[in-house]
Amino acid sequence: MEEDVRLMKGNEAIAHAAIRYGADGYFGYPITPQSEILETLEAEMPWETTGMVVLQAESEIAAINMVYAGAACGKAVFTSSSSPGVSLKQEGISYIAAGELPALIVNVMRGGPGLGTIHPSQADYFQATKGGGHGDYHLIVLAPATVQEMADFVTLGFDLAFKYRTPAMILADGMVGQMMEKVVLPPARPRRTDEEIARQCPWAVTGKPATRKPNIMTTLELDSYQMERNNERYQRTYRLIEENEVRYQEYYTDDADYLIVAFGSIARICLKSIEEARKQGIRIGLIRPITLWPYPYKTITGLSKRIKGILVVEINAGQMIEDVRLAVEGRVPVYHFGRLGGIVPNPNEVLDAFKHNFPEAQ
């Protein structure tokens, strides 16, 4: 398959990008607003073309354990769900992290807590970036703002997951999952052969040839001293990721007096607010973190030394604001504006919230 320009939903883009990436397997369970990922994969029938396995599992729990299994075999496998389903997956995600396995998890967030709403939300920021499951671990968390990024982050997520042997998550919201945009799909890459997997992933569970010792994927270690060493190894990986993989986008920060920090599709709304503000002579810049973990602390710390205040805009009750405040270290006021329960603010609301918090800016 050659490069292709298409109009499609964010969820559909993820499915197409995964087939073109050469993913080996997808295991999912229906939940709104992300079911198009499973539906698109079933309709595309990649098992007939690339040999990719697609399976509708009996539950989110089974699906994440299938991903753990596939990753243990050195395969490029992924799952997707939405907030309540991702809560169910947390035990399995912890196992994947502890097993130092590469895998991709997509969360197209909806409003919670509980069964909540099917409308967009960013209320799983804490869950995604601060752990989620049990134990000391991190996910590489990518926050797409466009349908194009939904596609691009499949490749990026898998590549980072395999580079560091750690699970990566695409943390999208229901808006970017459901909206349709132009997307450039990359040319298809072939799936890796068993020989390539054995070479690139010598730890993979493949069936033991007489020439090597058994490969055992386990996360159990009853020797506390060894378990401490395992944890230290995980932490070394996380420090390496923090040093090398921070990604973000800056808009209008050169002359900014104030800053808005927002991620995902909300950052696009904030950009509109900022453009309107600039027409009114208010110079606001935007930081859009692309990796929510590792977080662009240094960039925000640096900017906080030459601006007057920051508004953090999220569709939650205030989660990423804690990381912004950590970066700002109390230098300037940091305020939050958010809508809850699945409501997405419009650009005027954001600008009004800015003016309300920073009346001196006008």
Partner 1 sequence: MTTEDIIRPENLVYRKPRLLNDNHMHYCPGCSHGVVHRLIAEIIEEMGIEDKTIGIAPVGCAVFAYNYVDIDWIEAAHGRAPAIATAVKRLNPSRMVFTYQGDGDLAAIGTCETIHAANRAENIAIIFINNGIYGMTGGQMAPTTLEGMKTSTTPYGRRVDLNGYPLKISDLVAQLDGTCYVTRQSVHTPAAVRKAKAAIKQAFTNSMEGRGTSLVEIVSTCNSGWKMSPAQANKWMEENMFAKYPMGDIKNTVKK
SS3 169: strand
State the nearest-atom distance from the C-beta of 234 to partner 1, in Å. Answer: 17
Determine contact, residues 87/97, Cβ cutoff 8 Å: no
CB-wise, 68 or 354, nearer to partner 1? 68
How far apart (Å, rounded) are the C-alpha atoms in residues 5 and 90? 35
Q: Does 62 bind partner 1 (CB under 8 A)?
A: yes
Q: For the segment 185-214, give every residue that binds partner 1 (CB under 8 A).
A: 205-210, 213-214
State the nearest-atom distance from the C-beta of 216 to partner 1, in Å. Answer: 5
CB-wise, 77 or 282, nearer to partner 1? 77
State the nearest-atom distance from the C-beta of 193 to partner 1, in Å. Answer: 13
State the nearest-atom distance from the C-beta of 236 to partner 1, in Å. Answer: 23
Q: Does 65 bind partner 1 (CB under 8 A)?
A: yes
Q: Interacting stretch for partner 1, rule CB under 8 A, among 56-64, 141-149, 257-265, 319-327?
A: 56-64
Determine contact, residues 41/50, Cβ cutoff 8 Å: no
Binding pattern to partner 1, positions 152-191, x when CB under 8 A? Answer: ----------------------------------------
Output the CA angle 190-195-201, nearest 5 degrees: 95
CB-wise, 74 or 157, nearer to partner 1? 74
Q: Are strands 180-185 and 4-9 parallel, antiparallel or unpaired?
A: antiparallel
Place of tokens 């982050």: 153
CB-wise, 227 or 361, nearer to partner 1? 227
Radius of gyration from C-alpha coordinates of the chain:
21
State the nearest-atom distance from the C-beta of 189 to partner 1, in Å. Answer: 18
State the nearest-atom distance from the C-beta of 162 to partner 1, in Å. Answer: 16
State the nearest-atom distance from the C-beta of 22 to partner 1, in Å. Answer: 13
Instruction: Give how far the C-alpha of residue 241 lies from the chain's centroid of Cα atoms, to the nearest Å.
Output: 15
CB-wise, 58 or 254, nearer to partner 1? 58
Residue 93, classified by CB atoms within 10 Å of its CB into exposed (0-12), middle (13-18) or buried (19+), is buried
CB-wise, 148 or 206, nearer to partner 1? 206
Measured from the Cβ of residue 127, the count of other Cβ atoms closer than 10 Å reads: 23
174: its two tokens: 């229901």
Nearest to 14 by CA among 150, 111, 108, 148: 150
Among 15, 73, 284, 287, binds partner 1 (CB under 8 A): 73
Size of the site for partner 1 (CB under 8 A): 38
Binding pattern to partner 1, positions 211-240, x when CB under 8 A? Answer: --xxxxxxxx--------------------
State the nearest-atom distance from the C-beta of 177 to partner 1, in Å. Answer: 24
Nearest to 36 by CA among 28, 47, 48: 28
How far apart (Å, rounded) are the C-alpha atoms in residues 295 and 274? 22
Q: For the segment 79-138, give every residue that binds partner 1 (CB under 8 A).
A: 91-92, 95
CB-wise, 59 or 235, nearer to partner 1? 59
106: its two tokens: 């997509």
Q: For the segment 16-35, give every residue that binds partner 1 (CB under 8 A).
A: 24-25, 27
State the nearest-atom distance from the C-beta of 218 to partner 1, in Å. Answer: 4
CB-wise, 62 or 246, nearer to partner 1? 62
User: What's at 110, amino acid-wise?
Assistant: R
Determine contact, residues 76/158, Cβ cutoff 8 Å: yes
Q: What is the 3-state secondary structure (H, E, C) of 26-63?
A: EEECCCCCCHHHHHHHHHHCHHHHCCCEEEECCCHHHH
Torsion angle of C-alpha atoms 133, 134, 140, 145, degrees rounded to 10? 30
Q: Does 295 bind partner 1 (CB under 8 A)?
A: no
Nearest to 120 by CA among 145, 103, 90, 91: 145
How far apart (Å, rounded) are the C-alpha atoms in residues 333 and 205? 52
Residues that bind partner 1 (CB under 8 A): 24-25, 27, 53, 55, 57-59, 61-63, 65-70, 72-73, 75, 77, 91-92, 95, 205-210, 213-220
